[in-house]
């Protein structure tokens, strides 16, 4: 027989438990608000926070597999697609999306004249992962980028119908029109945007491993995220690779000890490069070959000239933890503002910066509020030639197109055949008439086995 448990011990246990919860909660709050003391304790706290994540993932994805991405619910009562204003557009939508009914990501090419799917890319991910030789850098590839977790991040379609992409902090790869693997590059971790320059090369954010930046490598900061700008050709060969930490220090934006000070204070990802936009022509405000870099964790945009290693402009403004900087005219750029300020942060925004006037303005801000558009991370926007605006609410699997008057033209929610909503991973619109004509011919003449 068990002895009767003393009542006072029970209440003492409850009291100590509540005190522990309060202390732990305040410790988490301290570090989330930027606290920098007791770095070892910070690591332990965030490790404990991560323990329930697999269980939470299974609940959100309605699956016994903890690796399956979550099912979103914000727009569960909306239709999959609804057109509000009929308008034919000679344009292609490149739509990378997760389909929960297939338990995988696919890329659809959609004709915006009639919203029909012209073509679908979906290659053998397991076969590709088996070709990776740099296992020291990609030791968790078959878990983090297994077929059930893999995503096509900001896929780039080339003139021959091939597709270049990665799964974010993963290998870069190229597949042909029939989704056959053409090459992989496992030299570095590639992530976020893929953009063509005027020479037909591709700029992709990377992460140097091992860290080769002289300001990082000298201190042996092995888990410091050393973001870089990488230029590859269409065959996947790296032509240029430069650390963003080096760029910032060499241009006197930050001091020489920026990397080590960030690391010692617990900031192992102080930059977080998430977009590279190449300038395709000369204007009064930039030169062909210049780059605009979006640094999320610095809430800043860099105008950088690789040919001279010079930062021409370092822009900060009414945006916080932004994504997706685009050149939209010969004197303007657009910025997708995740708007993660402490206050007045309910909605994401698109902000236009005019270099001539040195001024910012918000585009269709009232429409963003009306449509309740908010994505804390990622997200993107694209301004079409006629001034229409497409917005991707990545965190909730929704695309909206506003015409140039700010009226909602159509809305797409990434629902599968069962009505489950999956993520989108950076769509893009193609309006080049010659490209569209030739791509449609390629699709009509394709001789794929499936």
* 207: nearest Cα among 133, 296, 137, 155: 137
Burial of residue 214, with CB atoms counted within 10 A of its CB: 0-12 exposed, 13-18 middle, 19 or more buried: middle
pTM of the model: 0.86
Which residues make Cβ contacts (< 8 Å) with residue 63, sequence separation at least 6? none
In the predicted model, is pLDDT for residue 24 greater than 80? no
Q: What φ, ψ does residue 15 adopt, rounded to 5°?
A: -60, -45
As assigned by CATH, the class of the 72-445 domain is mainly beta
Overall average pLDDT of the 170-196 stretch: 97
Query: Which residues belong to CATH 2.120.10.30 in the chain?
Result: 72-445
Number of residues that this document lists for the chain: 450
The alpha carbon of 14 is separated from its chain's Cα centroid by a whole number of angstroms, namely: 44
pLDDT of the residue at 313: 97
- State pLDDT tens for residues 271-304: 999 999 999 999 999 999 999 999 999 999 999 9
- State pLDDT tens for residues 260-274: 888 888 889 999 999
In the predicted model, is pLDDT for residue 25 greater than 80? no
- State pLDDT tens for residues 336-352: 999 999 999 999 999 99
- State pLDDT tens for residues 50-83: 555 544 444 444 554 557 899 999 999 999 999 9
Return the structure tokens found at 232: 């590859």
In the predicted model, is pLDDT for residue 247 greater than 60? yes
């Amino acid at each position: 027989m068990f002895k009767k448990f003393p009542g006072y011990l029970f209440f003492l246990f409850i009291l100590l438990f509540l005190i522990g919860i309060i202390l732990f909660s305040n410790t988490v709050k301290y570090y989330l608000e930027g606290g920098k003391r007791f770095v070892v304790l910070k690591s332990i706290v965030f490790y404990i926070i991560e323990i329930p994540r697999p269980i939470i993932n299974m609940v959100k994805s309605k699956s016994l597999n903890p690796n399956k991405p979550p099912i979103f619910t914000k727009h569960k009562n909306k239709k999959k697609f609804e057109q509000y204003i009929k308008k034919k557009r000679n344009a292609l939508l490149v739509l990378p999306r997760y389909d929960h009914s297939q338990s995988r990501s696919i890329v659809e090419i959609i004709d915006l004249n009639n919203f029909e799917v012209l073509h679908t890319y979906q290659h053998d991910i397991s076969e590709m992962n088996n070709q990776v030789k740099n296992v020291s850098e990609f030791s968790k590839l078959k878990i983090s980028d297994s077929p059930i977790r893999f995503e096509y991040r900001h896929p780039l379609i080339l003139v021959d119908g091939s597709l270049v992409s990665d799964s974010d902090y993963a290998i870069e790869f190229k597949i042909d029109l029939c989704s056959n693997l053409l090459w992989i590059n496992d030299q570095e971790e590639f992530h976020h945007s893929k953009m063509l320059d005027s020479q037909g090369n591709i700029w992709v954010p990377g992460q140097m491993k091992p860290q080769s930046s002289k300001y990082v490598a000298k201190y042996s900061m092995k888990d410091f995220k050393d973001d870089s700008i990488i230029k590859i050709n269409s065959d996947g060969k790296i032509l240029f690779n430069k650390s963003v930490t080096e760029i910032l220090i060499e241009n006197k934006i930050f001091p020489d000890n920026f990397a080590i000070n960030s690391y010692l204070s617990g900031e192992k990802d102080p930059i977080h490069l998430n977009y590279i936009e190449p300038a395709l022509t000369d204007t009064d405000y930039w030169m062909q070959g210049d780059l605009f870099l979006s640094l999320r964790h610095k809430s800043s945009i860099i105008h950088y000239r690789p040919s001279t290693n010079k930062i021409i402009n370092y822009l900060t403004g009414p945006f916080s933890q932004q994504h997706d900087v685009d050149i939209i005219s010969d004197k303007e750029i657009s910025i997708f503002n995740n708007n993660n300020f402490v206050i007045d942060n309910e909605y994401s925004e698109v902000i236009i910066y005019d270099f001539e006037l040195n001024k910012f303005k918000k585009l269709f801000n009232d429409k963003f509020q009306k449509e309740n558009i908010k994505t804390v991370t990622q997200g993107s926007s694209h301004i079409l030639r006629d001034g229409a605006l497409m917005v991707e609410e990545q965190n909730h699997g929704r695309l909206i197109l506003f015409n140039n008057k700010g009226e909602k033209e159509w809305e797409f929610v990434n629902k599968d055949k069962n009505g489950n909503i999956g993520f989108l991973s950076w769509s893009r619109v193609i309006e080049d008439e010659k490209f569209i004509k030739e791509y449609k011919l390629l699709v009509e003449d394709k001789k794929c086995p499936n």
